[in-house]
């Protein structure tokens, strides 16, 4: 799974042969566990979303919810290029989003909502910022940073602007 995550994260056009080579196994081994490339891509994307969910839940228990929230937001944006590449590979393979990916995505959104609520309770994020708007900002910043190919420095400056809008008004 680690090899598939790395291979498909680099290129949506990668093959299962590339995954097998990086993993040091035969192609039959890959197909024994994942009968199709779509199955493998869905498993990789679901795993990425589950990892994000787990990280958001971990951070929601933090003693300092503001930095935890903004750190998670930054992490999602920084890692978005590879996640989006995997999603593009699924689309290129002619697949919709499977149940496993849908469930993992729902879990990640719930964890992000909890993290947002903690940050709002601590006063680090505006109380009037609803989940829908904040999640849309997360998706927009992720897609924008990836589509334009922002350097880390420009991406970080963009996030400062987003964060300024999320912070409470004095």
Question: What is the predicted pLDDT for the residue at 6?
Answer: 82
Does residue 25 lie within any of the structural domains? no
Q: Identify the domain containing residue 72 by its residue range.
A: 40-166
Contact 109, 50 (CB under 8 A): no
Question: What is the predicted pLDDT for the residue at 163?
Answer: 97
Question: What is the predicted pLDDT for the residue at 92?
Answer: 74
Task: Please tell me the total count of domains within the chain.
Answer: 1
The enclosing domain of 54 has a CATH number of 1.10.357.10
Name the phi and psi angles at 30, rounded to 5: -60, -45
Question: What is the predicted pLDDT for the residue at 150?
Answer: 85
Does residue 26 lie within any of the structural domains? no
Does residue 157 lie within any of the structural domains? yes
**Ranges of the chain with pLDDT below 70:** 12, 95-96
Does residue 4 lie within any of the structural domains? no
Does residue 122 lie within any of the structural domains? yes
Does residue 12 lie within any of the structural domains? no
Q: What pTM, to 2 d.p., does this model score?
A: 0.86
Those residues with Cβ within 8 angstroms of residue 93's Cβ, 6 or more apart along the chain or in another chain: 37, 38, 41
Does residue 8 lie within any of the structural domains? no
Q: Looking at residue 46, what DSSP letter applies?
A: H
What distance separates the 2 farthest-apart alpha carbons in the chain? 61
Does residue 110 lie within any of the structural domains? yes
CA distances from 21 to 2, 7, 13, 109 (A): 12, 10, 15, 34
Question: What is the predicted pLDDT for the residue at 12?
Answer: 67
């Amino acid at each position: 799974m680690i090899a598939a995550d790395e291979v498909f994260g680099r290129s949506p056009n990668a093959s299962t042969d590339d995954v097998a080579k990086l993993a040091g196994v035969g192609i039959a081994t890959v197909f024994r566990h994942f009968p199709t490339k779509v199955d493998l891509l869905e498993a990789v994307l679901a795993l990425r979303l589950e990892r994000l969910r787990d990280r958001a839940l971990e951070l929601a228990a933090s003693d300092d919810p503001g930095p935890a929230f903004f750190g998670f937001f930054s992490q999602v944006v920084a890692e978005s290029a590879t996640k989006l590449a995997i999603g593009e590979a699924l689309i290129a393979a002619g697949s919709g989003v499977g149940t496993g990916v849908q469930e993992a995505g729902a879990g990640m959104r719930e964890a992000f909502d909890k993290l947002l609520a903690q940050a709002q309770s601590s006063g680090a994020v505006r109380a009037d910022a609803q989940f829908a708007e904040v999640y849309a900002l997360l998706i927009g910043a992720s897609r924008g940073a990836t589509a334009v190919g922002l350097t880390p420095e420009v991406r970080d400056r963009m996030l400062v602007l987003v964060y300024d809008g999320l912070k409470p008004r004095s």
